[in-house]
Structure 1
Amino acid sequence: MSDQLTQFLNRYLLSPPLEDSPEIKPHSAAVLVPIIRHPHAPTLLLTQRSDQLRQHPGQVAFPGGKRDITDQTLYDTALRETYEEVGITAASIQLLGELPTVHSRTGHSVKPFLALVQPTFTLTPNPDEVAQVFEIPLRFLINTQHYAQLKVGDPRNPKTVHFLHHTPQLVWGMTATILYGLAQQISNNVRGSIRDI
Structure 2
Amino acid sequence: MTPPAGPIGVIGAGAVGQTVAACLMAGAWCQEVRVASGSARSAAALVADLEDMQQVLGSPGGVGASTPDGMANCAAVVVCPRARFTNTATSDVRMAGLTANAPVLAQLARALAGYAGAVIVVTNPVDVMTRLFTEVSGCQRVYGIGSNTDTARYRLALARFLDVPVDTVAYCPETRGASHSLRRCRVGRCQLVVSGCGAG
TM-score by length of 1: 0.29
TM-score by length of 2: 0.28
In our comparison, the structure showing a higher alpha carbon Rg is 2
